[in-house]
């Protein structure tokens, strides 16, 4: 009897450990990804699964392959071999046009340098992905204003990037990433150019967004405080996952 109870407890424990990776809860599945540039193999068989609503940080030294992996997950770069499945869709099998549509509807991007267009206002910058997705201008503007106000930028709606602080610009970039309601947010050193206060605010914002919208975050970062806050930290070394 004790043996049977022990087996049941062991089985339950294993189920709890594996639960975030069940198929119904799986958002990203990366299988044996390889990528080379000329003679240099940058990714050497990366496999990784990320659950829906999970915040995963990818850390490692410069040159470890972190950004290349993020670009492949973001469909900005094709792997030489292997498979990437996002939300049940094998994105490595899509054509370029299909990838563009998928990227616009399902993925949001936050970069270290904001990458806002300097001639456009905050609202106009946020609207761009929705306009590309063929939403009406009225719909785009209403959604952009809603997001900016949610991110405490209601007083910056008509300001251009040069008229905003670094932290404000990055929040505009986050709003732009959210405009199409993507299931996955990919961030590459999102707080790298921010001071301590703005950095901490941005980190808290990611978790608030996850809790509100159940979005999945994959974040490449050198910031160990952000990595420690994450649900899981993946360390890369020499093109492989080391732990």
pLDDT digits (tens, 9 = 90+) for 49-77: 999 999 999 999 988 999 999 999 999 99
Q: How confident is the model at residue 23, as a pLDDT?
A: 54
CATH number at residue 39: 3.40.50.300
Contact call for residues 126 and 181 (beta carbons, < 8 A): no
- What are the helix and strand counts (H, E) for the chain? 8, 10
Confidence label for 24 from pLDDT (cuts 50, 70 and 90) = low
pTM, 2 dp: 0.84
Per-chain mean pLDDT for the chain: 89
Segments forming the whole domain that contains residue 58: 2-241
Label the pairing between strands 89-90 and 107-111: unpaired
Question: Lowest mean pLDDT: which of 15-29, 100-114, 176-190?
Answer: 15-29
pLDDT of residue 139: 94
Give the total number of structural domains in the chain.
1
Strand 89-90: give its sheet, edge to edge: 40-51, 26-37, 81-86, 89-90
Q: For residue 123, give Cα distances in angstroms to 109, 128, 175, 184.
A: 17, 9, 9, 22
Give the percent of the chain with pLDDT over 70: 90
């Amino acid at each position: 009897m004790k043996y049977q109870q022990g087996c049941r407890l062991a089985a339950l424990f294993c189920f709890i450990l594996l639960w975030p990776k069940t198929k119904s809860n799986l958002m990203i599945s990366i299988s044996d990804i390889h990528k080379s540039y000329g003679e240099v193999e940058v990714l050497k068989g990366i496999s990784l699964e990320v659950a829906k609503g999970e915040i995963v940080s990818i850390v490692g030294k410069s040159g470890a392959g972190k950004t290349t992996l993020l670009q492949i997950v973001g469909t900005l770069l094709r792997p030489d071999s292997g498979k990437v499945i996002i939300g049940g869709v094998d994105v490595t099998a899509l054509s370029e046009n299909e990838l563009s549509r998928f990227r616009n509807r399902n993925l949001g991007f936050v970069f270290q340098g904001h990458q806002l267009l300097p001639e456009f206002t905050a609202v106009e910058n946020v609207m761009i992905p929705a306009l590309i997705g063929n939403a009406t201008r009225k719909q785009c503007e209403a959604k952009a204003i809603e997001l900016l106000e949610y991110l405490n930028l209601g007083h910056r709606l008509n300001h251009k990037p040069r008229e905003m602080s670094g932290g404000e610009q990055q929040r505009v970039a986050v709003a732009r990433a959210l405009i199409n309601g993507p299931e996955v947010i990919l961030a590459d050193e999102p707080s790298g150019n921010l001071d301590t206060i703005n950095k901490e605010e941005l980190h808290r914002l990611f978790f608030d967004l996850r809790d509100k919208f159940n979005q999945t975050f994959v974040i490449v970062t050198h910031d160990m405080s952000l990595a420690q806050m994450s649900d899981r930290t993946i360390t890369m070394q020499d093109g492989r996952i080391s732990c």
